[in-house]
Amino acid sequence: MPLGRIALLLTMVLALGSVLWILFAVVSTVGHPEVGSAMPLSTLRNLYLRPLTANSDLDTDDGIITYHAAKTYPPVKLLRSTEQKRILITGGAGFVGSHLVDRLMLMGHSVTVLDNMYTGNRRNVEHWIGHPNFQLVNGDVVDPFAIEVDQIYHLACPASPPHYQKNPVKTIKTSMYGTHNMLGLAKRTGARFLLTSTSEVYGDPEVHPQKETYWGNVNPIGPRACYDEGKRVAEALTYAYEEYDGVQVRVARIFNTFGPRMNAYDGRVVSNFIVQALRGQPLTIYGDGQQTRSFQYVHDLVDGLILLMNGNFTEPVNLGNPEEHTIRDFADIIREKISTDVEIQSLPPTKDDPKRRRPDIHRADEVLGWQPRFSMHQGIEETVDYFRGQLQVI
C-alpha cells in the first residue's frame, strides 16, 4: 500500500480513537497542576452530593429540619501568606459561582462572596460559612463595595432567560453599574479583573461555530437585549478600563453550562428536562426543537476560568463544549438517562431564540491549553444524581 494511504488510514484511526475517547472516557480528576487547581472529582462531589442530613436532623414526616452549629469544614490547602490570594467572587452564591468558590477555597485561597441572592442561594456555599478563609456578603454589585483584594471574578448577573427577562432594567443595571463598580475596585486595589461574559454576545449567530472574532447578531430591542447588550457594554467597559486605566483584565465568553446546584426552576433547558423527567412530567420543548446548543459541564468551566485568570491572555476567550445537539435530541438523551418514556409537550417558540450555537474553542486551547474533559453524558449523569437527591426540597 502506498505511504500516503497508510498515513491517511492512520490519521482516520487516530481521529476515531479520540472521538471514542471523548464519548466514553470517565473523568475522575479536575483542574490543572500549574495553577494549583488539580484535585480528585470525588473531593468536589462530597460537597454537593452530601446527604441533606450531613449537618442536620431531618424529620420528613413533620417537615422539620434542625441544623447544628458545630461543623467540620472540608480540608483546604495550607498556603503561605505570600501564596494565598484574596479573591472576590461576585455572584459567588449562584450556580457557577459556588463551584468556583469550592475550587478556590480547596486550593487554599481567601474568598469573599458578594451576592444579592436574587438568583443565588446561601445553601450553595453553606458548607463554607464560618470558615476562616471565607466571607459571605449579602450585597448588590450595583452599590459601591470596598474591600482589599488581589483578584476579582465578576459573575454577578441573572443568567437564565426567564430570570434576566423578569426585570430587564435591573439586568442592564447589574451589567453596567455592577461591572463599572467592580472595575473601579480593581483599579483602586490593583486587582486583576475577570468578566464572565456570554455566548449571548453573538446573538442569533450568522457564523457557525462562533469564534471570538465574530461581532455577533444581536437584536438591540428584543427581549434578550437586556442581557446580551448588557454583557456587550460590560465587555466594552472592561476594555476601556484596560486601555485608559491600565487595569489587568480577562474576559470569558461562557457557553451553555450545566451541573449540580442549577436552580431547579430557573427555566433553563437542562434543569427543566431533568426535573420534569424525574417527576414523570412531559418535557417542554419551545418551538420545533431543531434549535441547537452545546452543553459544557460546570467543572470544565471552572478549570477554564482559573486558567484564564492566572494566564497572560487579555482578549475574550470562549469557554464551552463544542458537542452540539438539537433540543429535540437532547430531550431523548434525558429520557434515556432517566429511563423514562415521558411525553414531549410542544410549546410556542420564544422570541429571538438563537437557532444554532456552538463554540469555536481553538483560542482557549492555544492560549490556555484548555479543552473540556467531561463528556456531556458524564455531566448529565452527575447532574441527575444531584437532582434526584434534591427532589424532596425543590
Ligand X SMILES: O=c1ccn([C@@H]2O[C@H](COP(=O)(O)OP(=O)(O)O[C@H]3OC[C@@H](O)[C@H](O)[C@H]3O)[C@@H](O)[C@H]2O)c(=O)[nH]1
Where do contacts with ligand X occur on this chain (CB under 6 A)?
159-161, 198-200, 254, 256, 268-269, 272, 284-286, 291, 293, 327, 350, 353
**Shortest Å distance, C-beta 307 to ligand X:** 19
| Smallest gap from residue 305 Cβ to ligand X (A) | 13
Question: Given the complex with ligand X, which of 179 and 199 has the nearer CB atom?
Answer: 199
Closer to ligand X by CB, 174 or 272: give it: 272
In the complex, least distance from residue 290 CB atom to ligand X, rounded to whole angstroms: 10
| β-pair type (86-90, 110-115) | parallel
CB of 5 to ligand X, least distance (A): 43
> In this structure, are residues 109 and 85 in contact, taking their beta carbons and an 8 Å threshold?
yes
Cell 448588590, residue located: 140
* Residues forming the active site: 227
Select 151 or 160, whichever has its Cβ closest to ligand X: 160
Q: Nearest approach, Cβ of 343 to ligand X (angstroms)?
A: 14
Query: Smaller CB distance to ligand X: residue 104 or 159?
Result: 159
Q: Which is nearer to ligand X, 161 or 372 (CB)?
A: 161
Cβ nearer to ligand X, comparing 47 with 327: 327
Min dist CB 190 to ligand X, Å, is 29
Contact 293, 229 (CB under 8 A): no
Distance CA 111, CA 89 (A): 7
Three-state SS for the chain is CCHHHHHHHHHHHHHHHHHHHHHHCCCCEECCHHHCCCEEHHHHHHHHCCCHHHHEEEECCCCEEEECCCCCCCCCCCCCCCCCCEEEEECCCCHHHHHHHHHHHHCCCEEEEEECCCCCCHHHHHHHCCCCCEEEEECCCCCCCCCCCCEEEECCCCCCHHHHHHCHHHHHHHHHHHHHHHHHHHHHHCCEEEEEEEHHHHECCCCCCECCCCCCECCCCCCCHHHHHHHHHHHHHHHHHHHHHCCCEEEEEECCEECCCCCCCCCCHHHHHHHHHHCCCCEEEECCCCCEEECEEHHHHHHHHHHHHHCCCCCCEEECCCCEEEHHHHHHHHHHHCCCCCCEEEECCCCCCCCCCCECCHHHHHHHCCCCCCCHHHHHHHHHHHHHHHCCCC
- Which residue lies nearer to ligand X by CB, 133 or 383? 383
CA distance 359 to 393: 35
Rounded (10°) angle between helices 95-106 and 41-48: 130
| Closest CB 155 distance from ligand X, rounded Å | 11
